[in-house]
């Protein structure tokens, strides 16, 4: 049996159980969302995804309304657009959303900007500028930020954690981080706390993250649609406009998570999980997300080193070092045979390195004394 | 792994043994937790009540090193109560009779004396495993890092064959590999007994094939040395020159004092690395290498998935890709190798030589990579192995094994068991994670994890400095009093040189794999009186 509905005048078939949002997305019709986290039960809290359904009295949230046969849906009608505008205006007024949105004709804009920047301890726009769904939607719907007066957040930003900055003044209470923590990574560290205008995302006992169950996987940052959760190391070091994204594989454990390296001016400035990729489907752990900057350590070996008679190391050219190794190896082979040489390869390095090392031992040195820590 | 990570959240039953997944393979653990939230059962077999225990339906808190007794007892119950998969056993396996004879002795009442798990719990677990199928069995180093490591592995396979859980989606025997490219380094033949693609050293056809490909004559036909034998050889003089690529053996091998003596005995030691570390102190030449994101290449994860690694920034100073360094040494020893990039090495050489990788080429690795076996370029890769009971060497063979105790067990002088492993925030000897801003703030020092009961008896406070000593050495370390470990056990990691567990661990090895018994040795703990 075929079942179908109408979206913006087009007829689409769907499977029972699909939401309006899912049917629309399957046909490349974009309905904006904020609180909805793909794959999880919709909470329907932000209502930005509302659509107009013929004969329904009120607008319906597309992310949690099941598609029904014969439904006639409009995703960008005048009523829908006006409702979305109001939602966005309220959200923008609810915190330090200083991304330089249009409509700042009143004189208080610069006062606002100055207050926010002093709270941020920075002379920049929001650290999520350019990577914020709220900002994107405000632009898309040409929302002016001055219809409602700004209500400063009752909570100070939490700067004292390693790795993660929690800025409650930019939190729109969408709940994505709570779902990411409880339903995706299942670390159960954060939840909604308090009520009404005091509502806040809290870790256990409303303490800082580092004193809670939090394991700093950073899934919440990746889920946050605004600048409320940001990587401490990437804060102001990163803007998407001049950043290149390079896909790679995590260098730590054997899961092999797929990562985006965000590279700015030739430096990795942050790492995120590749959504929908195998095997990790966007997820990373603390090492995968935050364990990248060792490559820029001043301690890196930069030239070959050769040990002197007195035991200290001196710098050497590649040519000198390579000849030294080759000649000593040849000498050892001549004196004691190839089996007097042995090598240990690296289980952290790329396949091609291990291949070449075993080839060096087998084909050149002529021994099978090649191993790696396969068993640890 | 015979199966894949993307089967985890569809699975209905897990048996996780010797794997602290939430810390060692955190993202894999998230999929197990998702499955549990969706109603899957999780049976945890582990001496420690680590974080995964919060999600376990049943937790068999076995004694360290008693895995075989426990697993044999499960099989005893499955056979005694006629709960095993007869169809699979009859059509896909051999050796059932021998297995039956061996596990006969391991009644739950007998096994409880070894593993400490109540007979009723053993029976319940066996019955649950028979009731909910298939089951994904996952293990990590808690299985392999024992003097009976190989037998532990064999036992897990015996159990899964007996349950008929092989060759099916959401089943299988799934070792989560510790390091990102352990699987790959094995596949590449960085092992003393196999060429790339597990073609045996000494096999005349394989030798001829590689001689031709590498344009050399008379490749050596006898198996080489494994790491512990190499280390012994440094002292005995059998090994004169030693080449260590990217390993900090001075901290990672058991019994640091012994290891350092061995390294110091090397007549000529080459270290190729990205940092100076405790091992490079003994080197005669140190070669600076490009790191992870300074290379193009591939890693192969636990589920045999080959994924791309890409360059984000150039290496510092004159550091060079490792493959380049090996090529240059070969050249100075008289061999010119043609391939001049990781891609050329893969596409033109190793994928041509290893049949299971034959269909994998860089051009095919743009997205999610490919899982081997992938024999041809139109093959889509393999999610799970032994489909429909087809084992590589014909029928699956039961290899019955007897339980043996760890090489060193607690006694009057050293009354505690020390078991070791990794913690979430750091990786191995911290050469990398220790240099990442923020990670040391999360975990800045080693601790010795001890039980509330033992802390109580000995009057040790949380965070108090204690002495932990074994027959090989001693460390001063802060006590971490925790519910995770049972009484009689001390648990430590090897991330920090100062209180590295490997000052204490026992260099006793599995006789076949030569894996060290990192998971069990005897120690004493002492309060420091002041
Ligand atoms: S912190 Fe971010 S993800 Fe969490 S509720 Fe606030 S806006 Fe949403
Ligand atoms: S992100 Fe974490 S779980 Fe994933 S591969 Fe890296 S270390 Fe392993
Ligand atoms: S996205 Fe639908 S209610 Fe928030």
Confidence class for position B209, pLDDT limits 50, 70, 90: very high
From the CA of A275, how far away is ligand 3's center (Å)? Answer: 20
Q: Which residue has the higher pLDDT, B391 or B200?
A: B200
Q: From atom 6 of ligand 1, which residue's Cα is the shortest distance away?
A: A171
From the CA of A255, how far away is ligand 2's center (Å)? Answer: 6
Which pLDDT score, from 0 to 100, does residue B479 have? 93
Q: Cβ(A35) to ligand 3 under 6 A?
A: yes
DSSP state of B112: H
B308-331 pLDDT, tens digit per residue, is: 999 999 999 999 999 999 999 999
Confidence class for position B252, pLDDT limits 50, 70, 90: confident
CB contact under 8 A, A366 and B218: yes
Which of A285, A287, A375 to mutate: most B Cβ within 10 Å? A375
Confidence class for position B100, pLDDT limits 50, 70, 90: very high
**Distance between CA B491 and CA B454 in Å, rounded?**
13
From the CA of B157, how far away is ligand 2's center (Å)? Answer: 26
From the CA of A202, how far away is ligand 1's center (Å)? Answer: 11
B 246-305 near A (Cβ less than 8 A): 246-247, 249, 252, 267-268, 270, 273-276, 283-289, 291-295, 297-303, 305
Is residue B165 within 8 A of residue B11, CB to CB? The reply is no
Tokens 């955190």 found at: B26
Tell me what percent of chain A is helix, strand and coil, each rounded to the nearest 5: 30, 20, 50
CB contact under 8 A, A277 and B187: no
Mean pLDDT, range B256-261, rounded to an integer? 90
Domains and CATH numbers, chain B: 5-176 (3.40.228.10), 182-224+289-379 (3.40.50.740), 416-527 (2.40.40.20)
Mean pLDDT, chain A, as a whole number? 91
CB contact under 8 A, B318 and A304: yes
Domains and CATH numbers, chain A: 3-76 (3.10.20.740), 153-236 (3.30.70.20), 240-296 (2.20.25.90), 305-375 (no CATH)
Ligand nearest to the CA of A175: 1
Atom of ligand 3 nearest to the CA of A63: 2
Mean pLDDT, range B355-371, rounded to an integer? 93
**Distance between CA A28 and CA A24 in Å, rounded?**
6
- Nearest neighbour of B180 by CB, restricted to A256, A313, A321: A256
B434-465 pLDDT, tens digit per residue, is: 888 888 888 888 889 999 999 999 999 999 99
B47-91 pLDDT, tens digit per residue, is: 999 999 999 999 999 999 999 999 999 999 999 999 999 999 998
Which pLDDT score, from 0 to 100, does residue A374 have? 65
Which residue of B lies nearest to A308 if distances are taken between CA atoms? B284
A254-298 pLDDT, tens digit per residue, is: 999 999 999 999 999 999 999 999 999 999 999 999 999 999 999
**Distance between CA B448 and CA B492 in Å, rounded?**
5
The neighbour count for residue B105, using CB atoms within 10 Å, is 14
- The share of chain B scoring above pLDDT 90, in percent, equals 72
CA neighbor of B76 nearest in space, from B115, B116, B127: B127
Is residue B348 within 8 A of residue A341, CB to CB? The reply is no
Q: Which residues of chain A have pLDDT under 50?
A: none
B 440-499 near A (Cβ less than 8 A): 441-442
Confidence class for position B424, pLDDT limits 50, 70, 90: confident
Would an 8 Å CB–CB cutoff place B370 in contact with chain A?
no
- Is the preceding omega at residue A279 within 30 degrees of 0, hence cis? yes
**Does B387 score more than 80 pLDDT?**
no
Would an 8 Å CB–CB cutoff place B328 in contact with chain A?
yes
**Does B16 score more than 60 pLDDT?**
yes
Would an 8 Å CB–CB cutoff place B429 in contact with chain A?
no
Choose one of A20, A25, A37, A44 to mutate for the ligand 3 pocket test, by most ligand atoms within 8 angstroms of C-beta: A44
Which of A163, A282, A361, A368 to mutate: most B Cβ within 10 Å? A368
Residues of A in contact with B259 (CB under 8 A): none
**Does B402 score more than 90 pLDDT?**
yes
Please return the burial class of B360, using the count of CB atoms within 10 Å of its CB with bins 0-12, 13-18 and 19+.
buried
Sheet containing strand B58-60, edge to edge, reads B58-60, B41-45, B13-17, B136-139, B173-175
Which pLDDT score, from 0 to 100, does residue A101 have? 64
Q: From atom 6 of ligand 2, which residue's Cα is the shortest distance away?
A: A288
Which residue of A lies nearest to B243 if distances are taken between CA atoms? A343
């Amino acid at each position: 049996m075929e079942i179908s509905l109408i979206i913006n005048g087009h007829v689409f078939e769907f499977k029972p159980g699909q939401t309006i949002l899912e049917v629309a997305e399957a046909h490349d019709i974009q309905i904006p969302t904020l609180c909805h986290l793909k794959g999880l039960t919709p909470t329907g809290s932000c209502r930005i995804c509302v659509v107009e359904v013929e004969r329904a009295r009120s607008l319906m949230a597309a992310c949690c309304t099941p598609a029904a046969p014969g439904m006639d849906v409009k995703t960008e009608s005048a009523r829908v657009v006006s409702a979305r505008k109001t939602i966005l205006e309220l959200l923008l007024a609810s915190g330090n959303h200083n991304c330089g949105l249009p409509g700042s004709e009143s004189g208080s804009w610069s006062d606002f900007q100055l207050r926010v920047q002093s709270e941020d301890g920075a002379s920049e726009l929001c650290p999520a500028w350019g990577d914020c769904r709220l900002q994107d939607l405000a632009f898309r719907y040409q929302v002016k930020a001055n219809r409602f007066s700004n209500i400063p957040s009752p909570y100070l930003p939490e700067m004292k954690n390693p790795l993660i900055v929690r800025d409650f003044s930019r939190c729109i209470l969408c709940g994505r981080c709570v779902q990411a923590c409880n339903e995706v990574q299942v670390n159960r560290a954060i939840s909604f706390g308090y009520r009404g205008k005091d509502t806040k995302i809290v870790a256990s006992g409303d303490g800082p993250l580092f004193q809670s169950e939090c394991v700093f996987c950073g899934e919440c940052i990746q889920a946050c649609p605004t600048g409320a959760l940001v990587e401490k190391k990437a804060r102001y070091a990163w803007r998407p406009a001049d950043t290149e994204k390079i896909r790679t594989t995590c260098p730590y454990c054997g899961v092999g998570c797929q990562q985006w390296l965000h590279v700015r001016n030739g430096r990795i400035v942050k790492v995120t999980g590749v959504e929908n990729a195998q095997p990790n489907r966007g997820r990373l752990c603390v090492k995968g997300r935050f364990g990248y900057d060792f490559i820029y350590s001043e301690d890196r070996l930069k030239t070959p080193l050769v040990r002197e008679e007195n035991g200290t190391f001196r710098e050497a050219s590649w040519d000198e070092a390579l000849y030294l190794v080759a000649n000593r190896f040849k000498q050892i082979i001549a004196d004691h045979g190839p089996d007097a040489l042995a090598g240990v390869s690296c289980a952290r390095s790329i396949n091609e390195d291990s291949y070449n090392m075993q080839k060096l031992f087998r084909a050149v040195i002529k021994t099978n004394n090649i191993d790696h820590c396969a068993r640890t | 792994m015979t199966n894949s990570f993307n089967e985890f959240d569809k699975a209905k039953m897990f048996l996780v043994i010797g794997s602290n997944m939430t810390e060692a393979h955190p993202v894999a653990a998230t999929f197990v937790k998702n499955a549990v939230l969706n109603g899957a059962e999780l049976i945890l077999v582990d001496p420690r009540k680590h974080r995964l225990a919060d999600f376990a339906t049943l937790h068999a808190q076995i004694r360290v090193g008693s895995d075989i007794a426990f697993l044999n007892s499960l099989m005893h119950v499955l056979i005694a109560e006629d709960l095993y998969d007869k169809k699979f056993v009859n059509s896909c396996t051999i050796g059932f009779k021998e297995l039956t004879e061996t596990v006969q002795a391991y009644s739950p009442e007998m096994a409880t004396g070894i593993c400490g798990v109540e007979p009723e719990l053993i029976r319940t677990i066996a019955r649950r495993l028979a009731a909910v199928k298939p089951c994904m069995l996952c293990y990590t180093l808690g299985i392999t890092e024992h003097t009976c490591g190989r037998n532990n592995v064999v036992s897990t396979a015996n159990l899964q064959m007996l349950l008929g859980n092989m060759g099916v989606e959401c089943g299988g025997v799934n070792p989560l590999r510790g390091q990102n490219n352990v699987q790959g380094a094995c596949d590449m033949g960085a092992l003393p007994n196999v060429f790339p693609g597990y073609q045996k050293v000494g096999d005349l056809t394989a030798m001829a094939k590689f001689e031709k490909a590498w344009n050399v004559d008379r490749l050596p036909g006898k198996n080489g040395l494994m790491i512990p034998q190499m280390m012994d050889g440094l002292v005995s003089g059998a090994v004169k020159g030693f080449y260590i690529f990217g390993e900090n053996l001075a901290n990672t091998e058991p019994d640091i004092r012994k290891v350092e003596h061995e390294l110091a005995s090397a007549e000529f030691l080459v270290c190729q690395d990205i940092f100076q570390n405790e091992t490079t102190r003994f080197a005669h030449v140190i070669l600076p290498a490009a790191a992870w994101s300074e290379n193009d290449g591939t890693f192969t994860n636990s589920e045999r998935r080959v994924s791309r690694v890409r360059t984000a920034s150039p290496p510092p100073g004159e550091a060079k890709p490792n493959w380049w360094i090996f090529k240059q040494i070969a050249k100075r020893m008289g061999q010119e190798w043609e391939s001049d990039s990781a891609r050329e090495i893969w596409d033109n050489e190793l994928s041509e030589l290893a049949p299971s990788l034959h269909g994998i080429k860089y051009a095919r690795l743009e997205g999610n990579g490919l899982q081997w076996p992938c024999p041809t370029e139109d093959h889509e890769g393999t999610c799970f192995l032994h489909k429909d009971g087809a084992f590589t060497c014909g029928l699956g063979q039961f290899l019955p094994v007897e339980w043996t105790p760890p090489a060193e067990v607690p006694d009057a002088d050293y009354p505690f068991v020390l078991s070791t492993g990794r913690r979430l925030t750091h990786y191995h000897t911290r050469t990398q994670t220790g240099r990442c801003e923020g990670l040391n703030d999360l975990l800045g020092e080693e601790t010795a994890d001890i039980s509330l009961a033992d802390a109580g008896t000995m009057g040790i406070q949380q965070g108090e400095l204690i002495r932990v000593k074994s027959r090989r050495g001693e460390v001063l370390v802060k006590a971490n009093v925790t519910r995770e470990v049972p009484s009689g056990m001390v648990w430590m990691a090897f991330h920090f040189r100062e209180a590295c567990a490997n000052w204490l661990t026992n260099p006793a090895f599995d006789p076949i794999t030569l894996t060290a018994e990192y998971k069990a040795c005897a120690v004493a703990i002492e309060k420091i009186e002041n």
